[in-house]
Amino acid sequence: MATAKPAAAATKPAATTKPKHPAQASVRKATAKPLETAPPAPAAPKLAPPADRLHLIAEGLREKSSAKQAIFRATQAAFMLLRQVSQQLCLELTQTITTEADPSVRIECLPVSELEFHIRFSGDLLVFVMHSNIVTFPADFAPLTTPYVAEDFRRRFFGHIMAYNFMADSIRYQRLNDPGYLVGRLLVNIESHYFLEGARQLELPGPDMRANAITADALRLFVESAMIAAVNNDLIAPPLAEIEKINVKQKLENQQVSGGSKVGFTFTNQQGLQI
């Protein structure tokens, strides 16, 4: 009996690949592009100051600053001469007093610094101080109204030397509350001419500085007049009511119960400094 041949296995048709859709084509990995940054703005060019501004600065330095340096040197020279004159005067007075009067009276010229010295005599102390700054004054200040100053603006600026009168014991015993009194102020300009103002006892020249040159004789007259003014400015005792009580601080600071004060001086010129 014939056997039936097994049916041939049905073969699956080969799988056909569908063509890829264009959208499904191989995808390239997108590479991240760096962000484009704007180039830095160029720095603004530095503007040079206008030529006229530079000119003003240069002129100011040349005229005013240079003038003030010259005035300082003139004032310094006047102060050194004033110190020498004072030393000589004290020596002459000491010889005169010790020979003709009381040998116990001491008259001393005491150096303190480059800008200060003292004259001590008869319980009084004259303090001479040179200010390191150059000053000017209001337009109505007497010397500034003269033709001499009008001819050169540099003559409007001054160095100044102050003379104060203290009681000698105020410095010796460190009585810090004791007052001192201005005796005189010597103004020196760029040409070493001077103007002196202060107590009426001083030999005060007129406001025109044209003929007032700094000399040893002029400075000696200034010192002699200041000493005369100080000697005649007597010590006035305080009223009894003011010294009935003192506190411990006054006692510790040597504020003596009998400490008086001077009357002070009457001035012929009352002008304010512009420093």
Report which residue type is found at 126: L
pLDDT of residue 80: 97
The answer to whether residue 30 sits within a structural domain is: no
- Closest by Cα among 201, 193, 106 to 156: 193
Reported as a single tens digit per residue, the pLDDT across 79-117 is 999 999 999 999 999 888 877 667 777 899 999 999 999
- Residue 217 belongs to a domain: yes
CA-angle at 179, arms to 174 and 184, nearest 5°: 120
Total domains in the fold of the chain: 1
Residue 242 inside a domain? The answer is yes
Q: Which whole-number Å values give the CA distances from 119 to 11, 89, 207, 262, in the listed order?
A: 140, 10, 28, 18
Please tell me the number of Cα atoms within 13 Å of 245 on its side-chain side: 1
Does a structural domain hold residue 22? no
Asked whether residue 99 is domain-assigned, the answer is: yes
| Residues of the chain under the 50 pLDDT cut | 1-4, 6-11, 15, 23-27, 30, 257-258, 263-265, 267, 269-275
28 inside domain:
no
265 in Cβ contact with 200 (< 8 Å): yes
Residues in the chain: 275
Which helix (H) or strand (E) segment is 168 a member of?
A: helix 168-172
What is the rounded CA–CA span in Å between residue 260 and residue 264? 12
- Give the residue carrying structure tokens 């039936």: 4
Angstrom CA distances, 195 to 89, 239, 252, stand at 22, 39, 43
Say what the pLDDT of residue 269 is. Answer: 46
The angle subtended at Cα 222 by Cα 137 and Cα 136, nearest 5°, is 10
Over residues 151-176, the pLDDT tens digits come to 999 999 999 999 999 988 888 877 77
Could you tell me which residues come within 8 angstroms of residue 212 by beta carbon, excluding any fewer than 6 positions away? 193, 194, 195, 205, 218
Residue 216: what pLDDT? 97
Mapped onto helix, strand or coil, the DSSP state of residue 94 is: helix
Backbone angles phi, psi at 148, to 5 degrees: -60, -45
The pLDDT, as a whole number, for residue 39 is 63
SS3 185: strand
Residue 122 inside a domain? The answer is yes
**Domain containing 182: what range?**
58-262
- The sheet carrying 181-188 orders its strands as 107-113, 116-121, 124-130, 159-167, 181-188, 194-198
Instruction: Let me know if residue 32 belongs to a domain.
Output: no
